[in-house]
Structure 1
Amino acid sequence: MATEDKINNKSEELTGKVKEGVGKATDDERLEAEGKADQSSSKLKQAGENIKDAFKS
């Protein structure tokens, strides 16, 4: 399950990068901010996964 979570987190991060890029290209500040928020959320989740992995070892 941890691997699936990591894949989902990375997917969310990449989606956020795309949203941010499209927002910048189209001058849509809301979409750009949403993309940045998605990336931040994903990175936070990834950090949680890394902490769980550290305790498993």
Structure 2
Amino acid sequence: AVLPLVAGSPARDAVPLAECVDFAGDPVGVDQAGGPRPLGAACDAGAAEADAG
């Protein structure tokens, strides 16, 4: 199950883009649900990327 982040969560945009990479060091382009990542100034912490809104 993918648990979405709530508005105001400290996990939103918590990971700088330079650190939003996989174990091979490649940029992460999708979240666990297959949605685009990142959707803001940085990646959200965890497996799910919250909607920008």
Q: Which has the higher contact order (CA 8 A, sep 6+)?
A: 2
Bigger helix share: 1
TM-score (norm 2): 0.30
TM-score (norm 1): 0.29
